[in-house]
């Protein structure tokens, strides 16, 4: 059972629930599990022509106690439409809206939905949340090779994973992007995504990407935000408060699908990024925490891979290594300068964990064995 099940079930008793996340991450499966707790649920997918007509006419059965609208954000003015349904029918039935794009972005026109819904984001499987219930070396190897999306993760078949990844990407580009953004030059967009995949974990100069593809910097910037909104990649910005000579211009980009990333070091860093983003967004969605995932990099090249920020203060630092268990000088520097509550060096091939100078050196298995829905970030001390 996915980690959001009981939380969504509880929230549905009070408001609508919006569940977003990457295509084929398991949103429909989770919705189907939630539907089993109701007497007369109705599932309607905007991508299905028959379902679309039912949505347009509002002709679902009157005894429906749970309405599940899938991919509703593709409907024009969906926000105003679902607000009207909720305001009229909230006493009679619950409403769950799921989508493969950021539902907090695609709110087109009409009245505000503020106060009428809770928003959740579902992520791929991770070490601390997977159907095998094991946070071990085998699970780590599977995540690195196949990624955390349910189908390739569970099949562990290289050929089937490659076919799944190709089909998912084609649907993402040809259906989701087309329906929501009307991008015409799909071929160049695909080349743009190839360049992004090659740069996972490295600072990305959007202007250089634009020059390579002979498109405008504004177009490149827009495409990056489009693919982020579609849950293909996520962008991390550098943290600058109290950082002398901070590098402010170039973000870093990671993919939700670690199995798509090239190179062992990039895969390892991407995997940790996915785990940390999942934890941060869970804290945002579950508790309203004002936390963000960023990184630290100054103009002298000193960098720490990840920093969790709360209220403009660094509370945790993370540096990722494949096999070097010697603590990185940049991590030591910024641990002393910023005084976070926790500092970690995550080493994928580590003989024995240890701690030195307040910095914990440990494997990803040891780091991610306790999920955030069991243990939250450090208290707001300081």
Decide if 49 is inside a domain. yes
SS3 category, 347: strand
Closest CA to 204 of 251, 134, 138, 256: 251
pTM value is 0.92
The answer to whether 73 and 100 are in contact (CB under 8 A) is no
Q: Are residues 146 and 287 in the same domain?
A: yes
Decide if 132 is inside a domain. no
Q: Are residues 236 and 200 in the same domain?
A: yes
Q: Token pair of 3, please? A: 């980690």
Q: Are residues 96 and 228 in the same domain?
A: no
pLDDT truncated to tens, each residue of the chain (382 aa)? 689 999 999 999 999 999 999 999 999 999 999 999 999 999 999 999 999 999 999 999 999 999 999 999 999 889 999 999 999 998 999 999 999 888 875 444 444 687 899 999 999 999 999 888 889 999 999 999 999 999 999 999 999 999 999 999 998 888 888 777 777 788 899 999 999 999 999 999 999 999 999 999 999 999 999 999 999 999 999 998 766 555 567 899 999 999 999 999 999 999 999 999 999 999 999 999 999 999 999 888 899 999 999 999 999 999 999 998 899 999 999 999 999 999 999 999 999 999 999 999 999 999 998 877 665 545 544 3
The confidence score (pLDDT) of residue 110 equals 45
Decide if 128 is inside a domain. no
Q: How many CB atoms lie within 10 A of CB 22?
A: 24
Q: Token pair of 235, please? A: 């962008």
Q: Are residues 177 and 99 in the same domain?
A: no
Number of structural domains (the chain) is 2
Q: Are residues 332 and 262 in the same domain?
A: yes
Q: Token pair of 306, please? A: 């990840």
Domain that holds residue 160: 137-367
Q: Token pair of 104, please? A: 């907090």
Decide if 131 is inside a domain. no
Q: Are residues 116 and 157 in the same domain?
A: no
The answer to whether 127 and 364 are in contact (CB under 8 A) is yes
Decide if 375 is inside a domain. no
Contacts of 114 (CB under 8 A, 6+ apart): none
Q: Are residues 160 and 74 in the same domain?
A: no
Q: Are residues 110 and 156 in the same domain?
A: no
Q: Are residues 252 and 159 in the same domain?
A: yes
Contacts of 381 (CB under 8 A, 6+ apart): 341
Q: Are residues 316 and 200 in the same domain?
A: yes
Chain center to CA of 292: 12
């Amino acid at each position: 059972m996915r980690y959001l099940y009981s939380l969504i079930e509880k929230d549905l008793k009070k408001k609508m629930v919006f569940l977003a996340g990457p295509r084929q991450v398991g949103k429909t499966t989770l919705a189907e599990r939630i539907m089993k707790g109701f007497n007369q649920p109705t599932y309607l997918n905007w991508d299905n022509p028959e379902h679309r007509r039912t949505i347009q006419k509002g002709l679902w059965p009157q005894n429906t106690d749970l309405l599940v609208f899938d991919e509703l954000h593709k409907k024009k003015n969906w926000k105003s439409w679902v607000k009207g349904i909720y305001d009229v029918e909230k006493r009679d039935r619950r409403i769950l809206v799921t989508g493969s794009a950021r539902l907090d972005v695609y709110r087109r026109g009409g009245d505000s939905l503020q106060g009428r819904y809770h928003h959740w984001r579902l992520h791929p499987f991770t070490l601390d949340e997977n159907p095998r219930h094991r946070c071990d070396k085998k699970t780590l190897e599977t995540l690195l090779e196949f990624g955390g999306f349910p189908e390739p993760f569970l099949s562990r078949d290289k050929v089937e994973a490659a076919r799944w990844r190709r089909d998912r990407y084609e649907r993402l580009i040809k259906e989701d992007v087309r329906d929501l953004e009307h991008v015409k030059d799909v071929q160049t967009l695909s080349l743009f995504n190839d360049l992004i995949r090659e740069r996972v974990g490295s600072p990305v100069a959007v202007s250089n990407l634009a020059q390579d593809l002979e498109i405008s910097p504004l177009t490149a910037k827009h495409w990056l935000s489009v693919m982020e909104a579609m849950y293909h990649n996520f962008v991390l910005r550098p943290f600058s408060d109290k950082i002398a000579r901070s590098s402010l211009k170039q973000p870093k980009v990671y993919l939700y699908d670690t199995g798509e990333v090239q190179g062992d070091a990039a895969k390892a860093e991407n995997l940790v990024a996915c785990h940390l983003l999942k934890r941060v967004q869970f804290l945002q969605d579950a508790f309203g925490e004002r936390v963000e995932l960023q990184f630290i990099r100054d103009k002298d090249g000193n960098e720490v891979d990840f920093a969790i920020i709360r209220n403009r203060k660094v509370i945790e630092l993370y540096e990722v290594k494949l096999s070097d268990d010697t603590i990185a000088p940049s991590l030591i520097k910024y641990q002393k300068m910023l005084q976070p509550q926790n500092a970690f060096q995550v080493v994928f091939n580590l003989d024995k964990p240890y701690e030195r100078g307040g910095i914990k050196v440990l494997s990803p298995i040891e780091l991610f064995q306790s999920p955030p829905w069991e243990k939250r970030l450090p208290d707001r001390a300081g």
